[in-house]
Structure 1
């Protein structure tokens, strides 16, 4: 078994606490499902948010999903001119039998434009 990194991102429509938590929960669950993982497989998770998202810590969504024994950390993305607004990114480390090429990365809504080469087809809301 190896430790692999899974990437994901979602662009939110607005910076509202409920909307942010719902979007992050959806993204995180889709990342786990796409890679046939569960919470016990997780080693740690890093959440980042663009500077325009201030309504809640994205990691709260994972805690609400019951992830109480997984180390979680939030950070702010660099504020680069012209970058996509209202984006939460997730970098999750998990123990898995999947090889690097088998890992499925999930990009939802407008965030699909960030890495079209990696994105799993899915929700384009």
Structure 2
């Protein structure tokens, strides 16, 4: 069964260090809470709001053993007025037998506002 695992996190400043640290925190939370193995991941899609330009969030996956062959892409989000600023989102497409309502999504920092119904299950 293929499932999508979602997450998002916000940053304060548009710096390489902050983007990298936030992306690392987000991915670590998703891996840990869902016990994700890289050979079960079909792809990872990162999106960022238009105010994030200092680094690619996807580069953090190079830091994880076994993840170098997982296809990863970064993209800009549609700049909708009033959307949450300085936000990094991720979608992992994973092969798993876990039921959809048992997947642990991660909405961290101010990104909890995006999906408070899912963020509450991850605290």
TM-score by length of 2: 0.93
Task: Give the Cα separation in 2 of the matches to 1:14 and 1:109.
Answer: 14
What does 1:104-123 align with in structure 2 at a 5 Å threshold?
104-119=104-119, 120-122=121-123
Task: Give the Cα separation in 2 of the matches to 1:13 and 1:4.
Answer: 30
Deviations 1:83-120 (A, max 9, x none): 11000000000111101111111000000110011123
Unaligned runs of 5+ in 1: none
Please, what is the CA RMSD of the aligned residues? Answer: 1.1
Unaligned runs of 5+ in 2: none
Task: Give the Cα separation in 2 of the matches to 1:19 and 1:65.
Answer: 18
Deviations 1:53-85 (A, max 9, x none): 000111111123242100001110111111110
TM-score by length of 1: 0.92
Task: Give the Cα separation in 2 of the matches to 1:7 and 1:82.
Answer: 21
Task: Give the Cα separation in 1 of the matches to 2:27 and 2:42.
Answer: 14
What is the CA-CA distance between 1:38 and the residue it aligns to? 2.0
Task: Give the Cα separation in 1 of the matches to 2:53 and 2:64.
Answer: 21
Is 1:100 aligned to 2:100, yes or no?
Answer: yes
Pairs aligned (count): 121
